Each structure stands twice: as structure tokens, then as C-alpha cells.
Amino acid sequence: MKTLVEKFLSWLGRTGEKNFTCDVCGREVFGGERICAACEKTLPFNNGHICPYCGRRVREAGVCIECKDHRPAVERARSAFVHEGAAAALVRRFKQGEKYLFRTLAAYMFPLLQQFFADADALVFVPMTRRAQRRRGYDQSRLLAERLAKMSGKPCLDACKKRRDTAAQKGLGRRERERNLEGCFVVCDRAAVKGKRLVIVDDTFTTGSTVSELARVLLRAGAARVDALTATSVEYKLFRKT
């Protein structure tokens, strides 16, 4: 039986979507892989002990202190990588103009979608305001969600809007982030989400404030369950500011 990685490479072959250089080091690759074997060894995969709720890496097995004190509104969250090293660099490049990297990040998120959220009815993405999207040129979360939808066969719902720009989240504590995001998301297609098991797709899970705010809005609109899948997550020990 083929592994998930082998199935993905087979899928690439059928669609003709192959890389010719590694997206980390730029060296030539020969098997269609997005990242060469040498660079893949350096990637901080989110393995080992992770919090069962927020999905961030923790030093000891069990629920992290953050989630004991204040659980995210999503049922579960998972991420492909810890937000450090080459993985953090990929996300930064993706958000700063290297749009094509959505394919690489989605390739590593896809096995988690199959493993943890196979029963999900649909994917949703963290929306941007039109102004913010014009400034960047694309909505990075939407690109990831649409790619994962194409790979999995699950629908990607354009059911939510962000109705106002918010201050940059970087450097804010959890409570500050929550206040910053309060009321910024709205469900514009309640019928599409009602009774559905949804997975929010985003690039990075830091404190969970963004996906939690969106999850609360979706649950109030009638979603049956909301989970989250991100490319990276910030290790618990790295984020203690409240």
C-alpha cells in the first residue's frame, strides 16, 4: 500500500505539477519533490509531544498550561511544523510575495488533513479584507485551503468575511489579540456552514486567537464542529505573554 507521501507524488505526476528545484535551498531535484531530502531533514516537523487541543509542541505529554487556562474555540488544532528554522522562513516568504509556496506548504499539511480530519465536511479559510488582499496581492489562507480542497476532494467554502482591518497581531499577548479581533469576522453564508464539520485553514497558529474568533462565529452560525489546520504553530514555551 502506498504511503501518503507516495500518493501525493503520484498525484503530482498525474497533474504535471512538478518542482525542478528545492523550495528551501534552490538545488535541483529529480523526483518532483518540493523540498530536497537534505533540506527535509532540517525541517522542524511538529512531532513528539503536542497539546491535544491547540496542537502546539510541548515539553511533556498532556494539555499545555495555556489550554488548561483558556482553551481555543476549535475542537482540535494541528500543524505540520513548529514555527522555527526553515519552516518559519517558508511561511515568511509565502506571506511576503512568494505565492507559489502554497503548493509546498499544502503538501506537508495534507497528510494531517487525512489523518486527523478525514471526516470533515468542508474547509474554510481565514479571510482578509479586500484592502489587505490588494496590498498583498493574494489571500494566503485561501490559497492553502483551496489547494487542500483540490487534493482531498473536500469543498472549500467562501462563507466568511473580515469586515474591518485589525492591528498587527505580532507582539500582542493573547488577551490583546482577542480584543483586537473581536467582531471582525462575519458568516455571510449561514446555510453553507449549518450542521457542517469544518476545518479552518491558516498559515500559522500562534496563540489561537484568530482561529478561535473565527470558530466562535462559525459555531454561532450553526456549524457542528470546527477544527483548525495550519502550516506551522508556535511552540508553547515560546509564547507566554498574556
Q: Which residue has the higher pLDDT, 167 or 43?
A: 43
Taking only the tens place, the pLDDT of each residue in 16-50 is 567 789 999 999 988 888 999 999 999 999 998 99
- How far are the Cα atoms of 62, 72, 199 from residue 50, in angstroms, in the given order? 7, 15, 19
- What percent of the chain shows pLDDT beyond 70? 82
Grid coordinates given for 143? 490559497
Torsion of Cα atoms, 147 then 152 then 158 then 161, to 10°? -70
- pLDDT of 133 reads 83
pTM of the model: 0.86
Q: With contact defined as beta carbons under 8 Å apart, do 231 and 144 qualify?
A: yes
**C-alpha cell read off for 163:** 469586515
pLDDT digits (tens, 9 = 90+) for 61-84: 899 998 998 889 999 999 999 999
Residue 1: DSSP 8-state: -
Distances (CA, A) of 84 to 47, 81, 209, 210: 14, 8, 20, 20
Beta strands in 71-130 (DSSP E): 77-82, 122-125
Domain range annotation of the chain: 1-42, 44-238
Q: In whole angstroms, how far apart are CA 112 and each of 20, 47, 81, 94, 145?
A: 25, 11, 11, 20, 13
Q: pLDDT-based confidence at 104, cuts 50/70/90?
A: very high
Rounded mean pLDDT of the chain?
A: 86
Is residue 152 a contact partner of residue 113, using CB atoms and an 8 Å limit? yes
Q: Name the residue among 93, 118, 119 with its Cα closest to residue 105.
A: 93
* CATH number among 3.40.50.300, 3.20.20.140, 3.30.420.10, 3.40.50.2020, domain 44-238: 3.40.50.2020
Q: What is the DSSP string of 210-240?
A: HHHHHHHHHHHTT-SEEEEEEEEE--GGG--
Q: Would the pLDDT of 110 be above 90?
A: yes
Asked whether the beta carbons of 24 and 38 are under 8 A apart, the reply is no
Q: Average the pLDDT over 135-144 and give the result.
A: 93
